[in-house]
Amino acid sequence: MRLLLTSAGIKNPSIQNALVNLLGKPIAESSALCIPTAAYAFPDGASMAYKLIHGVAASPLCELGWKSLGVLELTALPSMNREYWVAAVQETDALLVGGGDPAYLSYWMRQSGLADLLPSLDEMVYVGVSGGSWVVTPVVAAYDGGDWPTGIDSGLGLVDFTLYTHLDHPAMPDASLANIERWAAEVPVPTYAIDDETAIRVVDGVVDVISDGHWKLFTP
């Protein structure tokens, strides 16, 4: 599986070019499934999920001109015939995983069975936004219902680093560089702090940063 882990979606041409390179073909010739599940842990989650799917969210993802686009709702998968949704995931070119609460998303990825399937999807491109990016790492922030991270929680551990998105976003005080540095000091793996113009690409375990903005790496 190839990963493109973004803070706020496909925000600039550099990140879009990285996505096309990972797909190996134009977006207009590629299929995608959108996962809005992480948003439901927030008070306005239903609205966030609608905006993501409808292509009017602040994080460009579904509106890129995909050849086909479907919705994969993780909370519904345990009640479905597994063969149906597994086939749909295996046949798609990209999973578009929207933002929200990464701990909630991690829970439903495991409960649905998607977490077990992901490592086998060698040709698929995983595109994450914020919490949808964070979830594939070994460590995510625990919020306990507040605006400030109070500790750490477990992600899926598909990569050997973690990240913190929305670096220095004016509307997100928890994402100041100083606060991220304090949080990263508790974390036993490297932490990438990335802003909304930055993405992390992972191919065959090789990590590189695509950025028209700013970012910083904290080591344990």
**pTM for this one?**
0.94
Q: How far apart are CA 88 and CA 50, in angstroms?
A: 21
* Confidence at residue 141, expressed as pLDDT on a 0 to 100 scale: 75
Q: How far apart are the first and last CA of the chain?
A: 26
pLDDT in tens, 137-151: 998 876 555 555 555
For residue 92, pLDDT over 60 is answered with yes
Domains of the chain by range and CATH?
2-133+195-218 (3.40.50)
Share of the chain above pLDDT 90, in %: 86
